């Protein structure tokens, strides 16, 4: 993970040396020149594991799924629409011009903030954590 692509508030999984603590979802709280603080601990950026965007994450981040489009997963929020597939999320506006595709939650958080000036609100208490297979 490269420090310039990180913002305070981004969510990641963090590699840990403790088995019971591995892959918990954590929020970046501070960024220094060569380390990132998560939950009061400073870690190197290469220990951060990006979180793949899932349907659950979109739904718990304020997106709603179009029920009338059955051949693809199309979601919308107040500001734009997106499609979700194996390659991640492709965002588009009402004029259907595609925005930059994103694959990980922190990228969606950053793009959402850049477009709206607001933080993407995600409630991880209600989201099932991805399995290690999904993280690979």
Asked if pLDDT for residue 53 goes beyond 80, the answer is: yes
b or e along 118-136 (b: 16 or more beta carbons within 10 Å of the residue's beta carbon)? eebebebeebeebeeeeee
pLDDT at 97: 61
pLDDT band of 18, cuts 50, 70, 90: low
Least confident of 15-19, 73-77, 113-117, 130-134: 130-134
Residue range 35-51: mean pLDDT, rounded: 90
Token pair, residue 21, equals: 């603590």
* pTM for this entry: 0.74
Cα 92 from Cα 103, distance rounded (Å): 15
**pLDDT tens digits for range 21-34:** 556 788 899 999 89
**Burial class of residue 35 in the structure, from the number of CB atoms within 10 Å of its CB (0-12 exposed, 13-18 middle, 19+ buried):** middle
Q: Which CATH class is domain 3-49?
A: mainly beta
CATH 2.30.30 in the chain: give the residue spans. Answer: 3-49
70 three-state secondary structure:
coil
- Above 60 in pLDDT, residue 133? no
Q: Is pLDDT above 70 for 19? A: no
């Amino acid at each position: 993970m490269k420090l310039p692509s990180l913002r305070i508030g981004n969510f990641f999984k963090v590699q840990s040396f403790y088995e019971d603590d591995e892959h918990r979802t954590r929020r970046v709280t501070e960024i220094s020149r060569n380390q990132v603080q998560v939950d009061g601990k400073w870690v190197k950026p290469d220990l951060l594991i990006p979180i793949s965007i899932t349907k659950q994450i979109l739904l718990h981040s304020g997106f709603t799924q179009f029920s009338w489009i059955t051949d693809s997963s199309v979601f919308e929020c107040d500001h734009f629409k997106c499609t979700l597939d194996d390659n991640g999320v492709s965002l588009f506006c009402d004029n259907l011009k595609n925005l930059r595709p994103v694959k990980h939650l922190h990228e969606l958080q950053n793009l959402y903030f850049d477009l709206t000036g607001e933080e993407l609100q995600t409630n991880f208490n209600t989201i099932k954590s991805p399995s290690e297979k999904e993280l690979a």
